[in-house]
Amino acid sequence: MASPEIEALTQALARLPGLGPRSARRAVLHLLKKRELALAPLRRALEAVEQTLSTCQLCGNVDTVDPCGICTDPRRDARALCVVEDVSDLWALDKSRLFPGRFHVLGGRLSALEGVRPEDLAIDALVGRVAAGGIDEVVLAMNATLEGQTTAHYIAERLERFPVRLTQLAHGLPVGGELDYLDEGTLAQALRARRPVG
């Protein structure tokens, strides 16, 4: 029964993460019923973001301003830099507000399998930022995967000649994690990184 326009909208919404075909249908119906209160505002919000969207030349974050809001935030500690694979990792870490410094987005991780080489990632730019000085600590916040860790090791080598403290996220049991539900790799990491008690 849906017209081609409504069908196209349903499909565009259904492709969003977290929305399936069923909830996309409900969302479309909601938008159709609330043309002024829901459809028009959403269209305008998308338009505004689309027109201003840019990639931060400093850190690789996506924002509507360049440099991005994080890079220009005076309350952030410019001496601490957190290196992440992807913008989604940056957002996940930033949401928690646990890291008070700035970020550097690599745009992926080294992968022999997928043919991703150092020059395909923003690694030279990272080295350049560190070489420019003013940075005390670089946190390597790669994913706890083989490729993520390979990437971290490669970056650590590239940065070892600079007077910065290199750290990485601790690996181990997730909070609330029950031993017998964890995969072997996590258990091995947790055992290897074991600490004295008390």
Decide: is 27 part of the binding site for Zn ion (CB under 5 A): no
Q: Is 15 an interacting residue with respect to a copy of itself (CB under 8 A)?
A: yes
Q: Which does 69 bind (CB under 5 to 8 A by kind): a copy of itself, Zn ion, none?
A: a copy of itself
Helix (H, G, I), strand (E, B) or coil at 144: coil
Q: Quick check: 40 binds a copy of itself (CB under 8 A)?
A: yes
Query: Cα-Cα-Cα-Cα dihedral of 64, 65, 66, 68, to 10°?
Result: -90
Q: Does 90 bind Zn ion (CB under 5 A)?
A: no
Q: How far apart are alpha carbons 102 and 82 in whole angstroms? A: 6
Give the number of other Cβ atoms within 10 Å of residue 114's Cβ.
10
Establish if 52 lies at the interface with a copy of itself (CB under 8 A).
yes
Under 8 Å between Cβ of 37 and 84:
no
146 binds, among Zn ion, a copy of itself, none (CB under 5 to 8 A by kind): none
Q: Comparing C-alpha atoms, which of 126, 122, 150, 128 is closest to residue 139?
A: 126
- Residue 151 burial (CB count, 10 A): 25
Contact between 78 and a copy of itself by CB under 8 A: the answer reads no
Q: Which residues sit at the interface with a copy of itself, rule CB under 8 A? A: 1-6, 8-9, 11-13, 15-19, 23-27, 29-33, 35, 38-43, 45-50, 52-53, 62-65, 68-70, 73, 87-88, 91, 94-95
